[in-house]
Structure formats: structure tokens, C-alpha cells
Homo-oligomer: A and B are copies of this chain.
Amino acid sequence: MNRAAALLSGGLDSAVAAAWALGAGFDVAALTVDYGQRHRAELEAARAVASHLGISDHRFVGVDLRAFGGSALTDDVAVPRDRCEIGEDIPATYVPARNTVLLALLTALAEVAGAHRLILGANVQDYSGYPDCRPAYLRAFAQVARLGTRAGAEGAEFAVLAPLLHLSKAGIIRLGASLGVDFGLTMSCYDPPAAGVHCGRCDACALRRRGFAEAGLADPTSYAQPPAQPAVS
């Protein structure tokens, strides 16, 4: 049995990562974590994506990271908008230990589903800013999964697979298109104004727009607003 456990956020990246795992022949169990994000439209998108991909073992688990504060994604502070570059700084949307919490919950699913592969959509666009998306981190987590589970204690090797790690957003979109992913079901926006509608202005929307443009593919996304005008210099 070639089973994998995949995080499915409802976003574009995790949909492509899960589609990659299915295409690679894994029997995929999916996990969507409601960590108190205010864009709950993501959760509905995750349900639609799982259904679209034909993943029948899809579980939801709630964990409320708001107890820890400190992030624009879960606190009532402004979402950063209109940033043109994702640089080396850790972004304001950083959620403390988010991937560690998500991968820990994914390890619980892997344990009960008999999966030894943990799949997530982390990529260079993320790990330029988020420490918990970098390759060394992902390798360290695989060790934790191996040493901390019944299956690992009995000899199973665990691996964390991040098939998008070295892809740009355009590369991810091209890969997803080749795998038949319906991007119209995915939700990237940090602050969607309505169900299924992207704001068009936040960092995530800017990245998404640019990704489709650079990939040379039609963008099926419904954006509430056009992109911001570049500042006149």
C-alpha cells in the first residue's frame, strides 16, 4: 500500500501538491486544518478541491492558534497589500509555528491512515520568507515523524515531500494545469470579500495573478478589484 497524507488548505499550491501525489500513484488521505484563519472560504475551497480530485478520505481538524496571537492572518490587524516583492524578511502573515502544527496534525493522520509520506505545497515563494518551509526544516520534521510514531518505531521510513519546493508560482500553475487541476475551485486570497471571490489586492492575489500571466495560461479567478497601479517614480 502506497499511502500518503496531504495537507489541503483550499489554496492553489496544496491542490497541485495533492494532484501531484495522486499522479505519482499515492493513495491520498487529505487533511484540512482550521487554525482559526479568518478566510473561512479556504475551508469550503478545500472541500471542493478534494471532491474534484476524487480524494474520499478527507478530514477536518480545528486548532485555534489565535490563543497565541501575533499574525495578520488570525489577528484583527491589517493584511499587507500591494507588496511587489516577496523578500527575505519574514512576512507579517507569519503564523507562529504554523507548519510545525500543520505537519504534526498531518502526522497524526498519517499514523491512523497507515501513510508514511507527508505531502505539502511549500515552495520557494514561501521559503524565501517562512522559516518553516525550508528544506532542512522539512527533513528535520521527517525525523520527528519517524521517531514519534508507532509505524516509525516499528521501522517505517517517513518522508516529507514538497513537490513544489523549487517551482515558481508560474511553474506550479503549469504543473497543476498538466495534472488537470481546476484552479477555479482554489482560494488564495488572504481576505476574500465573498465566497469564491478574491480581493485582487493582497499579496496572495498579486502572486496568483502574476503566476497565471507568467505561465501564459488563462486565469479563471474572480477578482473583486483590478491590480493596484504601480507607484509613479
Contacts and interface: CB of A to CB of B under 8 A. Distances in A.
A104 to B, nearest CB: 4
B97 A111 contact: yes
Given A131-B152, A147-B131, A108 B97 contact: yes
Each complex incorporates copies of this chain amounting to: 2
B100 A148 contact: yes
Interface size class, chain A? 35 or more
A59 interface: yes
A105 B101 contact: yes
Contacts of A111: 68, 70, 96-97
Given A100-B104, A101-B104, A140-B143, A62 B63 contact: yes
A93 interface: no
A132 B105 contact: no
A96 B101 CA distance: 14
A153 interface: yes
A107 interface: yes
Interface in A44-86: 59-65, 67-70
Nearest to A59: B67
A69 B112 contact: yes
B64 A99 contact: no
Given A100-B144, A105-B63, A150 B137 contact: no
Interface of A: 59-65, 67-70, 90, 94-101, 103-105, 107-112, 131-132, 134, 136-137, 140-141, 143-145, 147-150, 152-153
30 contacts: A59-B68, A61-B68, A62-B63, A63-B63, A68-B111, A68-B112, A70-B112, A90-B153, A96-B107, A96-B112, A96-B149, A97-B104, A97-B107, A97-B145, A97-B148, A98-B108, A100-B104, A100-B145, A101-B104, A104-B104, A104-B105, A131-B147, A131-B150, A132-B147, A132-B148, A134-B147, A140-B144, A140-B148, A143-B143, A144-B144
